């Protein structure tokens, strides 16, 4: 191969690595559009966006923890607690004050849950996988113990967040966009964002640069908790109901979105926009396979395979440099 050709190949590989995920999303959308007439309707596209919104919000919080080489497995369970307490104050004919609490509480609970995770991880130095595996179980146990019966028929004044639209766009999608924009700004333009990347890129180097690593670690779990709180509000409001089993498996979907989006589980690498695309790819796959009448177990196998394949491909392209 001539030098020029090698250079050209290198450019293609770099481009694939940088933008491959966008091509992948386009490919999935185009493939389903060809295969299924039901898929390619505007209503369905909006439905996918709506379906992705909660996982997307959780994934953005998850991204912060993964960027520091941590992980938050507890998001699904924490979402159930936050949703349950939110719903308690949002039942039919609740007074205004109670509704205000219903909006505020999930966010407060999310932050408190994140603080708990973060303080054990950063303060006591316990491995994040273990800590959040523990709280995954404990949070779920708590909400089931607290109230096993679902709360239905939430007040209309509460349901608008999850169920109304602004123009064609459902409100949850707008919430997702807002969360993503804020997260993107935080990661790219603030000192905090730089420190998050540095702590994940090399914790020892971050320490030796005089960065308060513990504080950053605590903060990312709080951010994750905050996202869970917002996600819980959107989720509960959209459903108009809260259940103790809500959010099961959300943690793995959120992590999958981050990882398919090219973030490294070893920290230091990943972006908000690609995490969103990761969430969209997974959401589109679920939706498209349903449209093609693929049975649920088969869907799961296909998507599982695609997650592994995506991460493998990312690794291959990275090594080619």
Report the interface residues with other proteins, using CB under 8 A. 3, 6-7, 10, 189-192, 194-195, 197-198, 201-202, 204-212, 268-269
Nearest to 214 by CA among 142, 113, 128, 140: 128
Q: Beta-carbon neighbour count of residue 299 at 10 Å?
A: 17
8 A C-beta contact, residue 91 and residue 102? no
Q: Which is nearer to other proteins, 79 or 213 (CB)?
A: 213
Q: Which is nearer to other proteins, 7 or 273 (CB)?
A: 7
Q: Which is nearer to other proteins, 103 or 192 (CB)?
A: 192
Q: Alpha carbon of 204 to those of 69, 119, 198, 199, 211: distances in Å? A: 12, 19, 9, 8, 10
Q: Alpha carbon of 11 to those of 218, 253, 261, 315: distances in Å? A: 39, 32, 21, 17
Smallest separation, CB 6 to other proteins (Å)? 5
CA–CA separation, 92 vs 263, rounded Å?
43
CA–CA separation, 72 vs 74, rounded Å?
6
Smallest separation, CB 8 to other proteins (Å)? 12
8 A C-beta contact, residue 311 and residue 259? yes
Smallest separation, CB 275 to other proteins (Å)? 18
Q: Which is nearer to other proteins, 191 or 249 (CB)?
A: 191
Q: Which is nearer to other proteins, 49 or 218 (CB)?
A: 218
Q: Which is nearer to other proteins, 206 or 282 (CB)?
A: 206
Q: Residue 36 is encoded by which pair of tokens?
A: 């299924």
Smallest separation, CB 83 to other proteins (Å)? 31
3-state secondary structure 92-151: CCCCHHHHHHHHHHHHHHHHHHHHHHHHHHHHCCCCHHHHHHHHHHHHHHHHHHHCCCCE
Residue 272 half-sphere exposure toward CB, CA atoms < 13 A? 20
The dihedral region occupied by 212, where left means phi > 0, alpha psi between -120 and 50, and beta the remainder, is beta
Q: Which is nearer to other proteins, 161 or 198 (CB)?
A: 198
Smallest separation, CB 200 to other proteins (Å)? 9
Smallest separation, CB 11 to other proteins (Å)? 13
Smallest separation, CB 190 to other proteins (Å)? 5
Q: Which is nearer to other proteins, 187 or 232 (CB)?
A: 187
Smallest separation, CB 66 to other proteins (Å)? 14
């Amino acid at each position: 191969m001539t030098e020029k050709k090698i250079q050209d190949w290198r450019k293609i590989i770099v481009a694939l690595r940088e933008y491959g995920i966008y091509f992948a999303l386009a490919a999935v959308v185009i493939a389903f559009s060809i295969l299924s007439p039901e898929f390619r309707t505007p209503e369905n596209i909006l439905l996918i966006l709506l379906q992705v919104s909660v996982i997307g919000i959780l994934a953005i919080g998850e991204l912060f923890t993964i960027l520091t080489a941590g992980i938050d497995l507890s998001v699904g369970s924490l979402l159930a607690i936050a949703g349950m307490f939110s719903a308690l104050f949002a039942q039919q004919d609740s007074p205004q004050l109670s509704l205000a609490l219903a909006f505020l509480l999930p966010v407060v609970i999310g932050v408190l849950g994140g603080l708990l995770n973060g303080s054990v991880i950063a303060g006591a130095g316990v491995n994040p996988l273990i800590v959040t595996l523990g709280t995954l179980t404990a949070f779920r146990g708590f909400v089931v113990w607290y109230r096993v019966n679902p709360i239905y028929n939430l007040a209309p004044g509460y349901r608008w967040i999850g169920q109304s639209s602004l123009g064609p766009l459902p409100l949850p999608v707008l919430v997702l966009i807002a969360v993503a924009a804020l997260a993107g700004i935080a990661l790219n333009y603030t000192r905090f964002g730089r420190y998050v990347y540095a702590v994940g890129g090399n914790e020892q180097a971050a320490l030796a640069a005089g960065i308060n690593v513990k504080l950053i670690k605590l903060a990312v779990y709080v951010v994750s908790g905050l996202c869970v709180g917002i996600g819980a509000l959107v989720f509960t409001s959209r459903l108009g109901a809260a259940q103790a089993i809500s959010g099961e498996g959300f943690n793995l979907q959120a992590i999958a979105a981050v990882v398919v989006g090219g973030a490294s589980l070893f920290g230091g690498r990943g972006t908000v926009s690609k995490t969103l695309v990761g969430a969209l790819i997974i959401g589109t796959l679920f939706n498209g396979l349903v449209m093609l009448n693929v049975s649920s177990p088969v869907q799961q196998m296909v998507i599982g395979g695609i997650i592994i394949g995506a991460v493998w491909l990312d690794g291959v392209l990275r090594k080619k440099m």
